[in-house]
Amino acid sequence: MNTFKTLGGLTLATTLFWTACTKTTTDPNAELKENVISNYCDIVAASYTDAHNEAVALQTAINTLVATPNQVNFDAARTAWKESREPYGQTETYRFYDGPIDDANGPEGALNAWPLDENYVDYTRDAAGTGVVQSGIINDSAAYPTINATVLTNANELGGEKNISIGYHAIEFLLWGQDYLDVNTNAGQGGDRSYTDYTSASSNHVRRGEYIKACAELLVADLAVLKSEWTTGGSYRTYFEGLSTDEALSKILTGAAVLSKSELAGERMFVALEANPTDNPQEDEHSCFSDNTDRDIITNAQGISNVLKGQYVSSDGVTTGNASYSIFTLIATVDATLASELTTINATTTTNINAIPTPFDRAVTNENVNDNGPILLAINALQDQGDKIAEVATALGLSISTDLPD
- Torsion of Cα atoms, 94 then 100 then 102 then 108, to 10°: -90
Is 47 within 8 Å of 237 (Cβ atoms)?
A: no
Tell me, what's the pLDDT at 276?
A: 61
CA-CA distance, 390 to 254, in Å (whole number)? 8
- Is residue 325 assigned to a domain? yes
- Is residue 25 assigned to a domain? no
Number of domains observed in the structure of the chain: 1
- Is residue 227 assigned to a domain? yes
CA-CA distance, 360 to 270, in Å (whole number)? 12
Would you write out the chain's pLDDT as a tens digit for each of its 406 residues? Answer: 343 333 344 343 443 333 444 445 689 999 999 999 999 999 999 999 999 999 999 999 999 999 999 999 999 999 999 999 999 999 999 999 999 999 999 999 999 999 999 999 999 987 666 788 999 999 999 999 999 999 999 999 999 999 999 999 999 999 999 986 554 444 556 788 999 999 999 999 999 999 999 999 999 999 999 999 999 999 999 999 999 999 999 999 999 999 999 999 999 999 989 886 555 656 678 899 999 999 999 999 999 999 999 999 999 999 999 999 999 999 999 999 999 999 999 999 999 999 999 999 889 888 988 889 999 999 999 999 999 999 999 999 999 999 999 8
CA-CA distance, 261 to 257, in Å (whole number)? 6
pTM to 2 decimals? 0.91
Tell me, what's the pLDDT at 175?
A: 98
Q: What is the CATH number of the domain that holds 190?
A: 1.20.1420.20
How does strand 319-320 pair with strand 312-313?
Answer: antiparallel
- Is residue 16 assigned to a domain? no
- Is residue 4 assigned to a domain? no
- Is residue 15 assigned to a domain? no
Handedness of CA 39, 295, 292, 181 (dihedral sign): negative
CA-CA distance, 88 to 57, in Å (whole number)? 13
Tell me, what's the pLDDT at 10?
A: 37
Q: How many whole angstroms from its chain centre is CA 109?
A: 12
Tell me, what's the pLDDT at 369?
A: 86
CA-CA distance, 115 to 343, in Å (whole number)? 33
DSSP three-state, residue 368: coil
Is 173 within 8 Å of 121 (Cβ atoms)?
A: yes
Amino acid, single-letter form, for residue 402: T
Q: Find the distance separating the first CA and the last CA of the chain, reported in whole Å.
A: 74
Closest CA to 247 of 393, 87, 95: 393
DSSP three-state, residue 159: coil
Is 326 within 8 Å of 36 (Cβ atoms)?
A: yes
Q: How many CB atoms lie within 10 A of CB 148?
A: 14
Phi, psi torsion values for 132, nearest 5 degrees = -120, 135
Amino acid, single-letter form, for residue 252: I
Is 264 within 8 Å of 54 (Cβ atoms)?
A: no
**Peptide linkage before 87 cis (omega within 30 of 0):** no
Tell me, what's the pLDDT at 218?
A: 98
Tell me, what's the pLDDT at 366?
A: 87
CA-CA distance, 24 to 28, in Å (whole number)? 12
CA-CA distance, 255 to 390, in Å (whole number)? 11
Domain holding 225, by residue range, is 35-395
Region for 120 from its dihedrals, namely left if φ exceeds 0, alpha if ψ lies in -120 to 50, beta otherwise: alpha
